[in-house]
Structure 1
Amino acid sequence: MEIQQVTSAGVAAAVVVQDGRVLLIRRRVPEGVLVWQFPAGKVEDGETAEQAAVRETLEETGLTVKAIKLLGERVHPKTGRLMSYTAAEVIEGEARVADDEELDAVAWVAHSEIKDYVPYGLFEPVQEYLDGALPREA
């Protein structure tokens, strides 16, 4: 009898920055208090978190992005899911609702607006990355 290893591949999120703003998406069906979030989805067999973040961004928003670096992983305090966060940059495309079964809006959000979209705060390594990557309005 073979022993199966149980692994939860988790969910990979892309933190996409372009022109001084970060990309957020709004799901048709919110996950509790999670209304606006980063493009994200389940990591598939044989995929790295970075590859999943790139793929999910393309599937959800039509943007082709390139992974820059893995920002961190955690068990999400609101969903209990294993999450990984990957910084990514846009290679080509315009952000839009590419998967209208899952999403109903996309937004490019300035640093000063993040708390309006995500009032409960961001994962600290993600916030630190955005603090450095996004200009702050005077």
Structure 2
Amino acid sequence: MTEADSSSNDVWRPHVTVACVVADGDRYLMVEEEVNGQVAYNQPAGHLDDCESLLQAAVRETREETGWTVALTHLIGIHQWRSKEHGDVVLRFSFAAKPLSHDPQQPLDTGIRRALWLTRGEIAGLGDHLRSPMVLMSIDDWLAGQRLPLSLVANLMPGGGQP
């Protein structure tokens, strides 16, 4: 492959996203959002921005979507899935985080209706209203004890350190 070929715009790229499983006892921080005119439920999650580390993105998305400041504790897993919403592949890095503080006055991201705390049973009961199967998979992985060190997620870009 030549240099011109490698910089072509037709190179396939997945959507790189982050999500946080934030537990408080037996409840998990969730967002209720509107997606294509439908109500959906997800963990605080979103896309990785340019020049941002995965860790920074996870903390930022949680704050923007819920008003909660969190501290990441572990990488839970990396999940790959083809979205039914847009048909593209999503590569999701799911992190465990502990809640630190909440700013109830912070405006939430566009499309987010509210943040709420639900049990695993309540989340499972949402069925088709879950944004993706990765929502419950991340919680179940966390409940099963899957906790990987954050040091596995390296960032070599300037300014791309810890959140």
What TM-score does the superposition give when structure 2 sets the normalisation length? 0.65
Equivalence for 1:129: 142
Larger CA Rg, structure 1 vs 2: 2
Task: After superposition, give the CA deviation of every residue in 1:64-119 in whole Å (9 maximum; x if it has no partner).
Answer: 00111111111124443111111111111156883252211222011322211345
Q: Distance between the aligned counterparts of 2:7 and 2:37, measured in 1? A: 30
* Aligned counterpart in structure 2 of residue 4 of structure 1, from 1, 4, 7: 7
Instruction: Judge conservation of contact 2:19–2:94 (CA < 8 Å) in 1.
Output: yes
- Does 2:101 correspond to 1:92? yes
* Aligned counterpart in structure 2 of residue 37 of structure 1, from 29, 35, 42: 42
What is the CA RMSD across the aligned residues, in angstroms?
A: 3.0
* Runs of 4+ that moved beyond 6 A: none
Instruction: Judge conservation of contact 1:15–1:23 (CA < 8 Å) in 2.
Output: yes
Which 5+ residue runs of structure 1 have no aligned equivalent?
133-138
Instruction: Judge conservation of contact 1:111–1:131 (CA < 8 Å) in 2.
Output: no
Amino acid at match of 2:91: L
Equivalence for 1:106: 115
Which range is displaced more, 81-90 or 103-112?
103-112
Count the aligned residue pairs: 131
Q: Distance between the aligned counterparts of 1:46 and 1:30, measured in 2? A: 29
Q: Relative to structure 1, is the Cα distance of residues 106 and 96 closer, same or farther in structure 2, using a 3 angstrom cutoff?
A: farther
Equivalence for 2:52: 47
Instruction: Judge conservation of contact 2:120–2:139 (CA < 8 Å) in 1.
Output: no
- Does 2:28 correspond to 1:22? yes
Q: Secondary structure at the match of 2:62?
A: helix
Q: Distance between the aligned counterparts of 1:96 and 1:70, measured in 2? A: 29
Q: Relative to structure 1, is the Cα distance of residues 35 and 66 closer, same or farther in structure 2, using a 3 angstrom cutoff?
A: same
Q: Secondary structure at the match of 2:114?
A: strand
Q: Distance between the aligned counterparts of 2:18 and 2:141, measured in 1? A: 18
Equivalence for 2:90: 81
